[in-house]
Amino acid sequence: MMIPYQNLYIYEISGEVLNSKSFFKEDFIGCWNEGEISFLFFSNPHDEEVKALVDQKGLSLLSKNVLEYKAWQAGEELKPFKVGNLVICPPWENGVAEEGEILVHLDPCVVFGTGYHPTTRSCLKTLWEIYQKERPKRVLDLGTGSGILALAAAKWGADQVLAIDCNELAVETALRNVALNGESHRIEVRQGRAEDFIEEEADLICANLHIQAIESLLS
C-alpha cells in the first residue's frame, strides 16, 4: 500500500463548513473547523468545486496552500516504532511484531497523533508504565486525534475507552483506526468538547491537549 497522499491541497475558508462530505466526494480528505475558520483538505486540486461551495454558502476563500504530505508531518517519514510491547505502524508500511508484541496500524490522516510528537510519545510511555503497575479498566481520552492513546490503552488492558474530540475530521480518523485494529467493541469515539465529558466516570483520564485547554479542565 502506498502513502495515501503525495500532496495536500488545503483551502482556508472564512466561516464554519458543516456536512462537507455532502459537497465533496472525489479526492476529499476532510474538513477541519477551527473556530470561525474551516480548512478543506484534498489530495488533488478542486478549485472550481471549492469556489462553488463558497459562493453557495456566502463564505470567503482566504487562501489555498499546497504541501507535501511529509511536510505536513513536520518533515517526518512515518515509519513503524515501538512503545512498550506495541509496534505502531502506518498501514502502508510492513510492520512486524515479534513474539509478545502487538501490531497496531495507525493512519493519522492529517490530524494530530502520529506518535512522533514529544507529547504524544511521552503520553504513550507513561501509559505503558501505568499498565505495568495497575490495570485501569475505564479510560477517558480527551482530544483523541488519531485515536493513538485510546488504542494503546485498549491493547494494554482497558475494557472501555471513551475517546473524545471536538473536530469532525479527527473523529472520522479515530473511528477508522479503531475499526482497523478490531477495537470497536472496547473503544467508543464521540465528537464533542473535552469540558463536556470531564465528569465521565473513568479510572484514568488521558488529555494530550494544549495548556489552555488543560487549565480550563482543571479550573
- Band of pLDDT at residue 58, cut at 50, 70 and 90: very high
Structural domains of the chain, ranges and CATH numbers in brackets: 7-72 (3.30.70), 110-218 (3.40.50.150)
Residue 206, pLDDT > 80, answer yes
CA distance to 69, 159, 167, per residue, from 74 (Å): 9, 34, 21
What confidence score (pLDDT) does residue 27 get? 93
Residue 118, pLDDT > 80, answer yes
Residue 168, pLDDT > 80, answer yes
Order of strands, edge to edge, in the sheet holding 204-207?
187-191, 160-165, 138-142, 204-207
What confidence score (pLDDT) does residue 28 get? 94
Indicate the range of 64-68, 153-157, 162-166, 192-196 predicted with least confidence: 192-196
The residue type at 115: G
Residue 1, pLDDT > 60, answer no
Strand-pairing partners, residue 165, are 191
Q: Whose grid coordinates read 471536538?
A: 166
The three grid cell numbers given for residue 85, joined into one nine-digit string:
510491547
Order of strands, edge to edge, in the sheet holding 28-34?
28-34, 37-42, 7-14, 60-68
The three grid cell numbers given for residue 166, joined into one nine-digit string:
471536538
What confidence score (pLDDT) does residue 25 get? 86
Tens digits of per-residue pLDDT, 121-155? 999 999 999 999 999 999 999 999 999 999 999 99
What confidence score (pLDDT) does residue 19 get? 84
The rounded distance, in Å, linking the Cα atoms of 150 and 6 is 28
What confidence score (pLDDT) does residue 100 get? 95
What confidence score (pLDDT) does residue 138 get? 98
Q: Which residues have C-beta within 8 Å of that of residue 171, sequence separation ≥ 6?
A: 165, 189, 190, 191
Tens digits of per-residue pLDDT, 16-46? 888 888 889 889 999 998 889 999 999 999 9
Q: Which residues have C-beta within 8 Å of that of residue 117, sequence separation ≥ 6?
A: none
CB 12 within 8 A of CB 65: yes
Q: What is the mean pLDDT of the chain?
A: 93
- Band of pLDDT at residue 219, cut at 50, 70 and 90: confident
**What is the residue-wise DSSP string for 9-64?**
EEEEEES---SGGGT--TTEEEEEEETTEEEEEESS--HHHHHHHHHHHT-EEEEE
- Band of pLDDT at residue 2, cut at 50, 70 and 90: low
The residue type at 16: E
- Band of pLDDT at residue 215, cut at 50, 70 and 90: confident
